[in-house]
Amino acid sequence: MRMHPQIRSMVCRVACVAILAIWGICAALPASAVAAQVRIGVLRVDRPVLVPVSRFDAKPDDLGFAGGMLGNDDNQTTGSFLGHEYVLETRAIPPDETQEGVRSLTDNGAVFLVVLGTGDDVLTAADAAGPDVLVFNAGAPDANLRDTDCRANLFHVAPSRAMLADAIAQFLVWKKWDRWLLIEGSNPDDGKLAGAYRRAAAKFGAQIVDERVFEDTGGSRRADSGIVLVQRQVPVFTQKAPDHDVIVAADESDVFALYLPYHSWEPRPVAGSGGLRPVNFDATIEAWGATQFQGRFEKLAGRYIHPEDYNVWLASRVIGEAVTRTSSADPRKVRDYLLSDEFELAAFKGQKVTFRPWNGQLRQPILLTDSKITVSVSPQDGFLHQRSPLDTMGLDQPESACTAFQTRSNP
Amino acid sequence: MKRPSRMASVAPVVGAGLVGVVTSFLALSGPALANKAFVSNEKGNTVSVIDTDSWETETEFAVGNRPRGIGISPDGKHLYVCASDDDTIQVIDTESYDFLWSLPSGPDPELFVLSPDGAMLYVSNEDDNLVTVVDTSKKTVVAEIPVGVEPEGMAVSPDMRFIVNTSETTNMAHFIASADYKIKHNVLVDQRPRYARFTGDGSTLFVSSEIGGTVSVIDMLGETGPELESKIGFEVSGVQPEWLQPVGMRITSDNKWLFVALGPANRVAVIDVESREVVRYILVGQRVWQLEFTPDEKYLLTTNGNSNDVTVIDVAAQEPIKSIQVGQQPWGVVVTPD
């Protein structure tokens, strides 16, 4: 998809708005209000990818960046009343240039970085940025980043695989679809996702009655003539499974999961990577003021929102909210504030989102979508936790081996 | 028509001076004098009309798409309804329910407030970060005022000096001078401020923050202008704190009691204005959204979006007395003046 022309002129527009606003509206502020500049860098690590199974899953050129623009717009409107100026800079880079990408942004003065990439990319970026820069992971779902490999300067707005798997598991258990047929892909990330589903099944009392691996044999995913083949392969692949209520698909590589609904041997619903999917956000949600948010995004970007856009918007709003409340753009002060009980943010998901102080993960509801509408939102009713129902999803404090957050004020 | 006996005993007080408005109703139902409550049904695209004497739904008529904010002219003749998805405010005759004309509202009008004299409408336009000022008799836009992200709550100070707007994503109450339509003060409040309401004497402004779960108390007589005095929180045993989401508010004209709709907590909190303390939670329908008194303040009506009904609260007793079925997803409510 082509970049909307509006976005190209975004950096200029933000700056103009800021100047107008500061001269105009801020005239009313007391003289003590000092203009502070907040520079946020967005780094996206791009890899060659195959054409997705569904045309709807094609990645737009401005993936993530458009969310960053909207977040910056939102921050700037608020900042204009307080004398704060927000500047956004974006970079799309190949994987072997992550460190250079980080440096080019921090050399320009960015003290907040939002990173879209794999878990390894995020760790490389966090380490290259150093302790004086706060890094926000907007894409990687890996458990190790929230566990043994956590970093004191690294926060996660993207949900972990564990959160996503727990969100689906709660819904399936609430439906009393307790017997799962787990099908995983053959790539490493598929295996990690399958692991999250095994963990979720054990956590919420579901039973995995059988596990199968769907081999990724490579090649093109174009379905010019492929539907006939799928229609013959999937029934046979899912044949002779023990009695099950639902098929759970772990297919992060986007190879087979979308083909499972309707083609499975038994007439069973599909959840996970196909059928009912857990997402942080998508274009289906309208509740809790999301209609207005979707409208603002679509007007800016000329397309529907992707989870990556939402995550970058969210990271940007997290930073903006902390700057607004602390009147400081100092990453150390922002970090302390984010980890304190004071921090809370409205994120169009029906309740405030906050950070887990033990590993820097943002607590948030997870949407369950059939890709047309929002089917449900987890946590489900009745899943309780002594701290917050949101902590029924993902790594709870005793389960996380992260120690980098034990001393707060010294990132 | 069924009528509980306790209602009948109240009717003469309620109906004083309303003969003209309810003539047609009188012909059907005898000597009772009543006001009308109009309820906007966000999903049903209708307005329900409730008789405040019999507490029965009299009728339901069609309006524009996604009706939310609703108001009435001081003389009780004109009903104003925000048709959010039609980007307009519809003006409707309160007796015939005929559509009269539209007012320009700016895009996606959600909520508005009328100036006490009825001359001006102040509309929040969620999609464009604007407050639009509309002259109700000339039917023209007088001013557009840039405010924070997702403007929502609107209020006018009793002395008409300030128009207050709350912006849901910026999390501020903006104080706009009615003299020049410029923002003079901004006060940060908690997440997603939904609604603003002045005490009758104008000394205090209450702002409800839906996601923050608090009501901010703003002292209008601060040294440098309006300043945050305190925040009121809520706690109901057996209800998750996340679901205590304050939205609509009303204050009795003696400035003693503040009623706060708590959204998905299905309760209305009663706050002692003087002590700033919650004294009671009244169980009402599901997802309680906006509130309105009858003109005598004997009753408070609540719109309950998810149970499609209106709860009638006895204000003195602070008890719910009746539920009335209305259209789909009731959002706002107004009552004709005496």
CB contacts of A30 in chain B (<8 Å) are 224
Q: Using CA atoms, how far apart are residues A269 and A198, in angstroms rounded to an integer?
A: 18
pLDDT at B46 over 90: yes
Instruction: Judge whether B197 and B205 are in contact, CB under 8 Å.
Output: yes
What residues are paired with A86 via a beta bridge? A38
| Cα of B234 to nearest chain A Cα, Å | 15
State the complex-level ipTM.
Answer: 0.81
- Provide the 3-class DSSP secondary structure of residue B289: strand
**Does the CB of B188 have a partner CB in chain A at under 8 Å?**
yes
Instruction: Provide the H-helix boundaries in chain B.
Output: 5-15, 23-29
Q: Which of B186, B213, B224 sits opposite A81 (nearest CB)?
A: B186
Count Cβ atoms within 10 A of the Cβ of residue B221 and give its class: 0-12 exposed, 13-18 middle, 19 or more buried. Answer: exposed
Alpha-carbon distance of A407 to A391, in angstroms, equals 22
The single-letter DSSP state of residue B24 is H
pLDDT score of B218: 98
Residue B211 contacts A, CB cutoff 8 Å: yes
CA angle in degrees (0–180, nearest 5) for B150-B153-B157: 135
Distance from A25 to chain B by nearest Cα, in Å? 7
Measure CB to CB from residue A295 to each of B127, B171, B212 and give the nearest one.
Answer: B127
Backbone angles phi, psi at A371, to 5 degrees: 80, -5
Each residue's pLDDT tens digit, B214-240: 999 999 999 999 999 999 999 999 899
A112-116 and A134-137 strand pairing:
parallel
| Exposure letters A283-293 (e unless 16+ CB within 10 A, then b) | bbbeebbbbbb
Tell me the CATH architecture of domain A162-279. Answer: 3-Layer(aba) Sandwich (3.40)
**Where do the H-state alpha helices sit in A62-177?**
65-82, 98-107, 119-129, 161-174
Which residue in chain B is spatially nearest to A20 when comparing CA positions?
B146
Residue A77 to residue B129, Cβ atoms within 8 A:
yes
The alpha carbon of residue A273 is apart from the nearest alpha carbon of chain B, in Å, by 29
Pick from B148, B191, B210: which is nearest to A78 by CB?
Answer: B148
Contact yes or no for A352 and B224 at CB 8 A? no
**Is residue A125 classed as helix, strand or coil in its secondary structure?**
helix
Average pLDDT, chain B: 90
Cβ B126–A292 below 8 Å, yes or no? yes
Nearest-CB residue to A289 (from B146, B150, B213): B150
Q: Which residues of chain A have pLDDT under 50?
A: 1-34, 409-411
Given B170, B183, B213, which is nearest A78 (Cβ)?
A: B170
Nearest CA of chain B to the CA of A345: how many Å? Answer: 6
Q: How far is B179 from chain A (nearest CA, A)?
A: 15
Interface of A with B (CB under 8 A): 25, 28-30, 73-74, 77-78, 81-82, 289, 292, 295-296, 299, 317, 321, 324-325, 344-346, 351-352, 388-389
What local confidence, expressed as pLDDT, does residue B139 receive?
A: 94
Classify strands A36-45 and A84-93 as parallel, antiparallel or unpaired.
parallel
Q: What residues of B are in contact with residue A77 (Cβ under 8 Å)?
A: 129, 148-149, 170
Note the pLDDT of residue B33.
Answer: 59
User: Min CA distance, B190 vs chain A (Å)?
Assistant: 9
Q: Angle at which helices A65-82 and A307-326 pack, to 10 degrees?
A: 20
Residue B17 binned pLDDT confidence (cut-offs 50, 70, 90): very low
How many other C-beta atoms can be found within 10 angstroms of the C-beta atom of residue A233? 15
CA dihedral (A233, A235, A240, A246) in degrees, to 10, reads: 120
Chain A residue closest to B150 (CA)?
A292
Q: Do A28 and B184 touch (CB under 8 A)?
A: yes
Residue B184 at interface with chain A, using a CB cutoff of 8 Å: yes
**Considering only alpha carbons, which residue of chain B is nearest residue A321?**
B170
Residue B73 phi, psi dihedral angles, 5° rounding: -70, 155
Q: Is the pLDDT of residue B18 over 80?
A: no
> Which of chain B's residues have a Cβ under 8 Å away from the Cβ of A22?
none
Contacts of A388 in chain B (CB under 8 A): 242
Contact at CB, A346 and B211, closer than 8 angstroms = yes
Residues of A in contact with B126 (CB under 8 A): 292
- Most B CBs within 10 A among A75, A77, A86, hence the mutation to make, goes to A77
Question: pLDDT at position B114, please?
Answer: 94
Instruction: At A244, list the tokens.
Output: 């099950």
**CATH classification of A5-159+282-365, choosing from 3.40.1160.10, 3.50.40.10, 3.40.50.2300, 1.10.357.20?**
3.40.50.2300
Q: What is the pLDDT of residue B16?
A: 40
Question: Is the minimum CB–CB distance between B231 and chain A shorter than 8 Å?
Answer: no
Q: What are phi and psi of A61, to 5 degrees?
A: -60, -30
Q: Please list every residue in chain B whose beta carbon sits closer than 8 Å to the beta carbon of residue A78.
A: 148-149, 169-172
Residue A359 tokens read as 């590993």
Instruction: Tell me what pLDDT residue A411 has.
Output: 40
- Contact criterion met (CB < 8 Å) for A289 and B190: no
Locate tokens 């975004």: which residue? A10
Closest CA to A305 of A34, A97, A66: A66
In this structure, what token pair is assigned to residue B314? 């006895």
Q: Find the range with the poorest average confidence among A125-129, B18-22, B139-143.
A: B18-22
Return the pLDDT at A35: 54
Domain span(s) for CATH 3.40.50.2300 in chain A = 5-159+282-365, 162-279
Size of interface A-B (CB pairs under 8 A): 70
Lookup: tokens for A246: 């639902």
Chain-chain contact of B242 with A389 (C-beta, under 8 angstroms) = yes
| Res. B23: pLDDT tops 80 | no
**How close A373 gets to chain B, by Cα (Å)?**
17
CA–chain centroid gap for B204, Å, is 18
A6 phi/psi in degrees, rounded to 5: -60, -35
The amino acid present at A75, given as its one-letter code, is: N
Contacts of A294 in chain B (CB under 8 A): none
Q: Please, are residues A151 and A211 in contact by the beta-carbon 8 Å criterion? A: no
Residues of A in contact with B182 (CB under 8 A): 28
Judge residue A144's burial from the number of C-beta atoms within 10 Å of its C-beta, 0-12 exposed, 13-18 middle, 19 or more buried: middle
Q: Which residue in A14, A292, A317 has the most chain B C-beta atoms within 10 A of its own C-beta, making it the best mutation to test that interface?
A: A292
Residue of A nearest to B125 (CA): A292
Contact (Cβ atoms closer than 8 angstroms) between residue A314 and residue A68: no
Q: Which of B82, B87, B149 to mutate to test the interface with A (most CBs of A within 10 A)?
A: B149
